Structure formats: C-alpha cells, structure tokens
Amino acid sequence: MPELPEVETTRRGIAPHVEDREIVEVIVRQRRFRVPVPSDVEESLIGSRFGELTRRAKYLLLPVGERTLLWHLGMSGSLRLARVGDQPRKHDHVDVVFDDGAILRYHDPRRFGFVDWLAGDVDTDTRLARLGPEPLSSAFDGDRLYQLSRGRRAAVKPFIMDNAVVVGVGNIYATEALFLAGIDPRRAAGRVSRERYARLAEAIKEVLAAAITQGGTTLRDFVSGTGEPGYFAQRLNVYGRAGQPCRRCGAELRQIVLGQRASVFCPICQR
C-alpha cells in the first residue's frame, strides 16, 4: 500500500511535469473506483492547467481553476508520467494529456483509489477536516502525543497510527519508530511519559524523513513511465524481522497482533 513517503515522492516526481501545463485531453477508461470518477472531470480539465500540487496525509491535491481534485492511491494505485504514443497497459485507468505530449497516467489494479473533487476546501471536506497534523510539521511533537494520550488504556502503537492523532504513520513506520524510541508497542498510551513521547515523535519524523529521502532516488522513474512503484529499500530494524536477532541486543524479535496489525518488537530493548 502506498504510504505517506510514497505519496510525497509521487507528488515531487510528477509536479514539475504537470503544473501549469495546458490539459488537452482526458481519457477515463474505467470510472468505477471506491468513488466513481465524477462525470464532469473531462469537461472541467480540458483547456485548464493544474496549479501547485500539494499533499495532505495520503491525499494528493491538484488545484484546477476554482476547484481542486483529490487523488488517493488506495491500496495499489500509482501515478506515473508517460508520453503520447505510450500504449496503456492493463489497469491504466486514467490519462491526463498535456500540450507538450506528457501524460499523467493512473494505474490501479485493485481500484481502491479514487479521484474526486474536493468538497469545499481542506477544512470542510469530511475526508480531510478531521485529520491530525502532518508528522513532519512542527504541529506534531511529543507534547501532542502526551496530551492526547492521557487516560488512554489502548496500546501506544494503534494510538500513533490513529489519523486523528497524527497522519501517515503506517504499520512499518509505527513499528520502526517504537523500536528506535525503545517503547513496547503493547504499553498503554496513557502510561508513556512526556520524555518518552518526545523521543517517539522524533523517531517518527526520522523514519518518515528517511523514507522520503530514499524515495528521492527513485524520482527519475516517474519520468521513464516504466516500472512499478515499490517500497523504498530502507534498512528496517524490526518490521518483517520476527524471529531474527535484534540489531541492538541480539535477542530474538517477537511478533504479536495489535489492532489487527502484525507488530514486531524486541522484548529486551522495548519497554
């Protein structure tokens, strides 16, 4: 599933090629997604230009005139650049064609993604309005985690994966950040000290920033239009390493299920 770093890398990869270019054609080969492609997308885009692309959580925002398109990659979606004449492959569902021959091409085998108009603005659209802060912004820090967690008995791992607390902390990043901060994922969120939350917030920023940096090395893939996006080859300390030795202390890493998600941790380093 594309996580926040992949979505941010997508934004950086496509922005220079699609911003402020005249849209000359829109080809929708499949309209049935989690939300159907709005019937007026073709008519609204042709002859217009996208303004500055931004991102909120895992949503890409593409302003066009007075409105904004909201694009979500779902479980298996990707946005890539192609050129006029590049034949669409299976599952290439939407093409936005620009006057210089570039194509913004949406590929999504499982069709859990969608493209839709933003309802109002980012503060009023129900999909975005209740989201917590961006993890790499100054609005997110250990104090926020500490304040929101007081009295909460739920485990700390699902707590930091809650989009109302902070957006974009998927399973990989939560697992890795808890290891770096030395916090047992099962610990009650309300029983983590302010100091340890400060360390955890820093660890979350660190793992996400590292993934985005890694993604930067793949930016040229957006222009070539070939290849599938994958997870960045980040060195993982615990995620996917159950049963293997902890890189720090050598103890065997354990796997449990928390909030229906697999969680790997070191029983010695994480308390």
Q: What distance in Å separates the CA atoms of residue 135 and residue 4, rounded to the nearest whole number? A: 10
CB of residue 203 to Zn ion, shortest distance in Å: 15
In the complex, least distance from residue 174 CB atom to Zn ion, rounded to whole angstroms = 17
In the bound state with Zn ion, the residue whose beta carbon lies nearer, of 140 and 179, is: 179
Residue 268 in contact with Zn ion, rule: CB under 5 A: yes
**Choice between 104 and 269, CB closer to Zn ion:** 269
Cα 5 vs. chain centroid, distance in angstroms? 5
SS3 string of the chain?
CCCHHHHHHHHHHHHHHHECCEEEEEEECCCCCCCCCCCCHHHHHCCCEECCCEEECCEEEEEECCEEEEEECCCCCEEEEEECCCCCCCCEEEEEEECCCEEEEEECCCCCCEEEECCCCCCCCCCCCCCCCCCCCCCCCHHHHHHHHCCCCCEHHHHHCCCCCCCCCCHHHHHHHHHHHCCCCCCEHHHCCHHHHHHHHHHHHHHHHHHHHHHHCCCHHHHHCCCCCCCCCCCCCCCCCCCCECCCCCCECEEEEECCEEEEECCCCCC
Residue of 162, 160, 153 whose CA lies nearest to 202:
160
CB of 139 to Zn ion, least distance (A): 32
- Provide the token pair at 4: 């926040």
x-or-dash string of contact with Zn ion, 93-112, rule CB under 5 A: --------------------
Characterize the bridge pairing of strands 254-258 and 59-64. unpaired
Q: Which residue is nearest to Zn ion (CB)?
A: 246
CB-nearer residue toward Zn ion: 44 or 175 = 175
Cα 69 from Cα 5, distance rounded (Å): 20
Stretch that binds Zn ion, among 12-20, 171-179, 245-253, 256-264 (CB under 5 A): 245-253
Q: 4 or 266, CB closer to Zn ion?
A: 266
Q: Is the Cβ of residue 60 or residue 264 nearer to Zn ion in the bound state?
A: 264
Asked whether position 181 contacts Zn ion by CB under 5 A, the answer is no
* Least distance (Å) between residue 63 CB and Zn ion: 47
Catalytic center residues: 2-3, 58, 261
| CB nearer to Zn ion: pick between 205 and 248 | 248
CB 182, min distance to Zn ion, A: 9
Applying CB under 5 A, what is the total number of residues that bind Zn ion?
7
Residue 269 interacting with Zn ion (CB under 5 A): yes
Min. distance of Cβ 269 from Zn ion in angstroms?
3
Q: Which of 201, 246, 258, 264 binds Zn ion (CB under 5 A)?
A: 246
x-marked contacts with Zn ion along 247-266 as a string, rule CB under 5 A = -xx-x--------------x
Residues that bind Zn ion (CB under 5 A): 246, 248-249, 251, 266, 268-269
